[in-house]
Structure 1
Amino acid sequence: MAALLTVDGAALRGFVERIERLAEEKGAIGDDIKDVFGEAKAHGFDPKIIRKIIALRRKDKTEREREDALLALYVEAIGDFFDTPLGGAAERGDE
């Protein structure tokens, strides 16, 4: 017969309630961030580019430089990708 486990229900409930509360706050913060992106767009800024800037700011200089170097290397290795159908569509701004 397996040993019976006991659980501190009050402590467990406290953790669950804290997590639920934080999840609600996280959702509200997500909504706030979405609103700020909307405001930026209304002022003529491109939210996609703002997201890229934020992602770049999260990285240290060495990591950014390494990624830039790899990107340049890969682009050089495949050549001028605007000669491809997909590259041509991107150059024309097709969606």
Structure 2
Amino acid sequence: MIGRNTEAGKKLLSYAERIERLMDDIDALKEDLKTVKIEAKNEGFNVQALTRLVSIRRTKGRADREAELLNDLVLYAYATGTPLDVAFQGDAPAPPEGASRPLPGDTHAGEVAADAE
């Protein structure tokens, strides 16, 4: 059994006090969050949409945002009838007539063409 004056009892009491302080901090932060949402609502913002935006921003990493951007680009190209090679080309120069276009990031494409000659 753990007594108050034992080493284990003191550690247990210390943990309990730390947890209580953290829970008090969490309660204070929840009140702050509630206040910010009320301020946003009073300014005319949709709090539900704002909460969703924050949720998306917190959960999405950079890779997710890039994947979403590429997905949007493909959908836009499809909707407008833009060929994907044009949509992804950017400022890259057009390849010579009859030459195959290397894939983006393919650093060995020139070496293969040189070896084939």
Which runs of 5 or more residues in structure 2 are unaligned? Answer: 72-117
Runs of 4+ in structure 1 deviating by more than 6 angstroms, as ranges, are 4-7
Of the two, which has the highest radius of gyration?
A: 2
Select the structure with the greater relative contact order (CA < 8 A; seq sep ≥ 6). Answer: 1
RMSD: 2.3
SS at match of 1:8: helix
Equivalence for 1:56: 56
Equivalence for 1:36: 36
Task: Work out the percentage of aligned pairs sharing the same amino acid.
Answer: 34
User: What TM-score results when the alignment is normalised by the length of structure 2?
Assistant: 0.48
**C-alpha displacement at 1:7, in angstroms?**
6.5
Which runs of 5 or more residues in structure 1 are unaligned? Answer: 70-95
Measure the CA separation in 1 of the matches of 2:53 and 2:17. 35
Structure richer in helix, relative to its length: 1
Equivalence for 2:112: none
Measure the CA separation in 2 of the matches of 1:54 and 1:8. 42
Over residues 60-92 of structure 1, what are the superposed CA-to-partner deviations in whole Å (9 max), with x where a residue is unaligned? 1433546xx6xxxxxxxxxxxxxxxxxxxxxxx
